[in-house]
Structure 1
Amino acid sequence: MIRSVVIVGGGTAGWMTASYLKAAFGSRIDVTVVESAQVSRIGVGEATFSTIRHFFDYLGLDEADWLPKCAGGYKLGIRFQNWRRPDEHFYHPFERLRMVDGFSLAEWWLALGDRSVPFDRACFITSALCEAKRAPRMLDGSLFVAGLDGPLGRSTLAEQRAQFPYAYHFDADEVARYLTAHATRLGVRHVVDSVEHVALDERGWIEHVVTAGHGPIAGDLFVDCTGFRGLLINQALGTPFESFLDVLPNNRAVALRVPREDAVEMSPYTTATAMNAGWMWTIPLFRRNGNGYVYSDQFIDPEEAERELRAAVAPGRDDLPANHIRMRIGRNRDSWVNNCVAIGLSSAFVEPLESTGIFFIQHGIEQLVRHFPDQRWDPATIAAYNERIARAVDGVKEFLVLHYRVARRDDTPYWKEAKNRPAPDGLDERLALAGSRLLDEETIYPSYHGFESYSWNAMNLGLGHVPAEPPAALHHLDPARARAEFDRLRAEAREMVAALPSCYEYLAKLNA
């Protein structure tokens, strides 16, 4: 039996893993986290998927408790700014498209021909809530969508049936600290020390890690949460890393923590703003914004990227320290090798354009529990784990490349080149299909990667990749029910905007 798990590296990945394994297996598994006090963390403010609620509910943690302690805010979607033309934006929300007579509202939007209201504003309630900066909960704590609230218990990503309407923004360092306290209360051993050597046995498996102050620490299963270093999976075991820079060339970022001058003006969405050589994130936390510029150093150097970022979000605030990050874009050929599993940045990373970092961690942890080994170390189980991780990462890669190939920006060398980058196998065929009809679950990337067909259509339509004609069947259907549904959606949006508190108002009450 596998009795002991040693997690090397703390941060969000390490403590999410430790907390989850303890919640899943209790005292039947000993969990140790070896965390260096000298290693700086990457976290500069995180945005998440709506599926993250499965993680916190699995641990039995209450949003009203952990969110205020982590400078948290709400995320109803992503606002894409300037990706088509300057001063234009659209939303990619957490909201499935409504159906009328077997066709989505997006298809009816094409058929009815009224383009005076943009697609996202016409087809989603969430866009109106984002524009009005509304919280997703009433002041009494009730959710604005009926029937979706309540604890999920020990459920997983695979059990997401309905689309939950929001995700979170939070300070990743504070989440790591919160989970450190939670996990150690559950019995996780916390060793603050530096790993100086990784000892392998005659098979090439990890036998123990040697720390500076605590000597050797042995285990059955080792989890590598050492970030881009890949101390165990890459450095000790020599696992090849497969770069995605051929299709996703952004390889650097610079980040700032910016206090908000007007604290009460708080957006319930992540903003991704197209810049000269990449894009800028804005992640609103309770009393500050996390801002960062993701770019390719083929088109701009770090100093100029920092100047461009400061001019956009913090003019005159040269006192704010900048965090420059070299990003390793791609994934390991295998995330599980011998008795070592890599989770988080040591496993895979793509640029944070769709907030997939925490999702990759959660998915990796859940699949580890599902494929947990015994003393046989079944090769088929390990291969199944690696296949699922690789497919999820590759699906996200393809979805992100879509953003650049479809974007209308062409005013700088960076954006001109974006149109001519290589595409992953299958993407060009999907984009050609999307030029004549909307995509569905049968025509998007076929393996699980966290994004449903409405996300693919929201990006294609928002970026201007619009089918030339609606489905021919709609010319033979009475549009009355569709028009009524559009009217109903607009009425519901007005009611929700009037009834819901602002994002800041609700979070101030929660923090109080």
Structure 2
Amino acid sequence: MIRSVVIVGGGTAGWMSATYLKAAFGESVDVTLVESAQVSRIGVGEATFSTVRHFFDYLGLAENEWLPKCAGSYKLGIRFENWRKPGEHFYHPFERLRGADGFSLAEWWLALGDRSQPFDRSCFITAALCEAKRSPRMLDGSLFVSSLDGSLGKSTLDEQRAQFPYAYHFDADAVARYLAEYGIERGVRHVVDNVTEVGQDSRGWISEVRTENHGVLTGDLYIDCTGFRGMLINKTLGVRFQSFEDVLPNNRAVALRVPRADATDMDPYTTATAMSAGWAWTIPLFRRNGNGYVYADQFITPERAERELRAKVAPDRDDLEANHIRMRIGRNENSWVHNCVAIGLSSAFVEPLESTGIFFIQHAVEQLVKHFPDQGFDQRMTAAYNRRINHAVDGVKEFLILHYRSADREDTAYWKDTKTRPLPDGVKAKLDLAESHLLDEETIYPHYHGFESYSWNTMNLGLGRIPLTARPALRHLDPTNALAEFAKLKAEAAEMVAALPSCYEYLASIND
């Protein structure tokens, strides 16, 4: 039996791992987390997937309890601005496509040929809620999709059956602190100290971590949450890191914390705005925004990137401190080697364009619980874990490559370069198919990676990669039911916009 786990590194990855293991195994597994007080945090605001609700529900944490303590807000989707041409935008929402007579509304949108309204406004309710800056919850706390309300209990990503309509924005540092309090109260041993050395036994397995002031810490299983440093997995065990920079060149970011001039003017979505050498994020927290610019340093210097970001989001605020970040883009060949599992940035990172950082942590710790070893460390279990982690990361990589290749923009050296970089065979095949017809669950990346076919199609249609014609079969079908579904969706959207409070109004009611 594995009786003890030592987690090296805190932050979101460390404390999500520690609290999840405690929630899963209780007193039967001792969990120690050691973190340095000197490690700086990014702390500019974090955006998530809607699936993160499984994590908080698993821990038994109610949204109206933890969200106000973490500067949290709602995310109904991502608004992509200027990815086709300046002034244009579209939404990638947390909402599956409806259908009529066996075909999705996206297929009918193509077939009917009415382009007076963009695809996203025609086929999703969420776009209208985003435009009106609405909360997904009524002032009494009820969800606008009542059938999806309520706790999921101890469910995992594997049990995700319906698309929950929102995710969160929050201050990642505040979430880490909140989870630390939760974990310590439930028995996680918290050691604040610097790790000076990682010991290995004769087999090359990790045997101990030495600290400056607390001596030697030992466990049966070690979790590396040391971020891009990869102190255990890379520096100690020598696991090879596979870079994705040949196909995803963005390798740096600069971030700012920006107060909103009007705190009540809160968008219920993340914004991703195309820039000269990458893209900029806006993440609205309860009383301020997190802003940043993700870029490829072969096309712009850090100094120029900072000036471009400041000019966009804070032109008169030279007092705001900029945080420059080097990003390691790619994944480890394997994230579990011997008795060490890397979770978070020490495992993989593929830039924050689709908010996959927290998702990768959640997926990894869930899979660790499902593949939790005994003292024999069955290598077949380890291999199964690594396959699932690698599949998820590689699927997101393909999805992000599609964003850049499909974007109808070639006005700078950076955007021209995105059209000439080598394409993995799988991505090329999908883009070729998308010229002819919309993708489906059989033709997107085949393994679990957090995104469904509606996401792939939403991005292609929004970015400008639109099939020349609809599927020929729809020419033989009566469009009456489809037209009725479009009308119903439009009416529901108008009803919800009228009934729901603003995002700020609802959040203010739970922050009192």
What TM-score does the superposition give when structure 2 sets the normalisation length?
1.00
Deviations 1:181-225 (A, max 9, x none): 000000000000000000100110111000000010011000000
Looking at structure 2, the residues matched to 424 and 193 of structure 1 have their Cα atoms a distance apart, in angstroms, of 43
Measured after TM superposition, the shift of residue 423 of structure 1 is 1.6
Specify the alignment match of 1:45 in structure 2. 45
Measured after TM superposition, the shift of residue 424 of structure 1 is 2.0
Looking at structure 1, the residues matched to 126 and 102 of structure 2 have their Cα atoms a distance apart, in angstroms, of 22
Query: Is residue 239 of structure 2 the alignment partner of residue 239 of structure 1?
Result: yes
Specify the alignment match of 1:446 in structure 2. 446
Looking at structure 2, the residues matched to 483 and 333 of structure 1 have their Cα atoms a distance apart, in angstroms, of 49
Specify the alignment match of 2:145 in structure 1. 145
Measured after TM superposition, the shift of residue 425 of structure 1 is 2.4
Looking at structure 2, the residues matched to 423 and 361 of structure 1 have their Cα atoms a distance apart, in angstroms, of 27
Specify the alignment match of 1:329 in structure 2. 329
Aligned length: 512
Measured after TM superposition, the shift of residue 180 of structure 1 is 0.2
Measured after TM superposition, the shift of residue 473 of structure 1 is 1.1
Specify the alignment match of 2:298 in structure 1. 298
Query: Is residue 191 of structure 2 the alignment partner of residue 201 of structure 1?
Result: no
Give the counterpart letter for 2:191 in structure 1.
V
Specify the alignment match of 1:109 in structure 2. 109
Measured after TM superposition, the shift of residue 328 of structure 1 is 0.2
Secondary structure, counterpart of 2:86 in structure 1:
coil
Specify the alignment match of 1:86 in structure 2. 86
Q: Which runs of 5+ in 1 are unaligned?
A: none
Looking at structure 1, the residues matched to 423 and 80 of structure 2 have their Cα atoms a distance apart, in angstroms, of 21
Looking at structure 2, the residues matched to 425 and 482 of structure 1 have their Cα atoms a distance apart, in angstroms, of 35
Secondary structure, counterpart of 2:80 in structure 1:
strand
Secondary structure, counterpart of 2:265 in structure 1:
coil
Within-5 A mapping of 1:68-87: 68-87=68-87
Query: Is residue 29 of structure 2 the alignment partner of residue 3 of structure 1?
Result: no
Specify the alignment match of 2:496 in structure 1. 496
Specify the alignment match of 1:459 in structure 2. 459
Looking at structure 2, the residues matched to 459 and 349 of structure 1 have their Cα atoms a distance apart, in angstroms, of 21
Specify the alignment match of 1:475 in structure 2. 475
Query: Is residue 289 of structure 2 the alignment partner of residue 289 of structure 1?
Result: yes
Measured after TM superposition, the shift of residue 43 of structure 1 is 3.3
Looking at structure 2, the residues matched to 101 and 435 of structure 1 have their Cα atoms a distance apart, in angstroms, of 23
Deviations 1:234-279 (A, max 9, x none): 0011100000000000000000000001111000000000000000
Looking at structure 1, the residues matched to 42 and 361 of structure 2 have their Cα atoms a distance apart, in angstroms, of 14
Measured after TM superposition, the shift of residue 152 of structure 1 is 0.2
Measured after TM superposition, the shift of residue 316 of structure 1 is 1.2
Looking at structure 1, the residues matched to 294 and 282 of structure 2 have their Cα atoms a distance apart, in angstroms, of 11
Looking at structure 1, the residues matched to 110 and 472 of structure 2 have their Cα atoms a distance apart, in angstroms, of 11
Query: Is residue 278 of structure 2 the alignment partner of residue 278 of structure 1?
Result: yes
Looking at structure 2, the residues matched to 476 and 244 of structure 1 have their Cα atoms a distance apart, in angstroms, of 45
Specify the alignment match of 2:434 in structure 1. 434
Give the counterpart letter for 2:418 in structure 1.
A
Measured after TM superposition, the shift of residue 409 of structure 1 is 1.1
Deviates more, 1:39-48 or 1:475-484: 39-48
Give the counterpart letter for 2:188 in structure 1.
V
Measured after TM superposition, the shift of residue 509 of structure 1 is 0.4
Deviates more, 1:446-455 or 1:38-47: 38-47
Looking at structure 2, the residues matched to 361 and 477 of structure 1 have their Cα atoms a distance apart, in angstroms, of 45
Looking at structure 2, the residues matched to 159 and 140 of structure 1 have their Cα atoms a distance apart, in angstroms, of 28
Specify the alignment match of 2:363 in structure 1. 363
Instruction: Give me the CA root mean square deviation.
Output: 0.5
Within-5 A mapping of 1:13-412: 13-412=13-412
Secondary structure, counterpart of 1:353 in structure 2:
coil
Measured after TM superposition, the shift of residue 78 of structure 1 is 0.2
Give the counterpart letter for 1:367 in structure 2.
Q
Measured after TM superposition, the shift of residue 42 of structure 1 is 2.8
Looking at structure 2, the residues matched to 361 and 42 of structure 1 have their Cα atoms a distance apart, in angstroms, of 16
Measured after TM superposition, the shift of residue 104 of structure 1 is 0.2
Measured after TM superposition, the shift of residue 472 of structure 1 is 1.0
Looking at structure 2, the residues matched to 43 and 230 of structure 1 have their Cα atoms a distance apart, in angstroms, of 20
Specify the alignment match of 2:413 in structure 1. 413
Looking at structure 2, the residues matched to 119 and 339 of structure 1 have their Cα atoms a distance apart, in angstroms, of 49
Give the counterpart letter for 2:87 in structure 1.
D
Measured after TM superposition, the shift of residue 488 of structure 1 is 0.5
Looking at structure 1, the residues matched to 43 and 369 of structure 2 have their Cα atoms a distance apart, in angstroms, of 25
Secondary structure, counterpart of 1:426 in structure 2:
helix
Give the counterpart letter for 2:404 in structure 1.
Y
Looking at structure 2, the residues matched to 370 and 425 of structure 1 have their Cα atoms a distance apart, in angstroms, of 32
Percent of counterpart pairs with the same letter?
77
What TM-score does the superposition give when structure 1 sets the normalisation length?
1.00
Looking at structure 2, the residues matched to 426 and 250 of structure 1 have their Cα atoms a distance apart, in angstroms, of 21
Looking at structure 2, the residues matched to 499 and 53 of structure 1 have their Cα atoms a distance apart, in angstroms, of 24
Looking at structure 2, the residues matched to 402 and 149 of structure 1 have their Cα atoms a distance apart, in angstroms, of 33
Give the counterpart letter for 1:354 in structure 2.
E
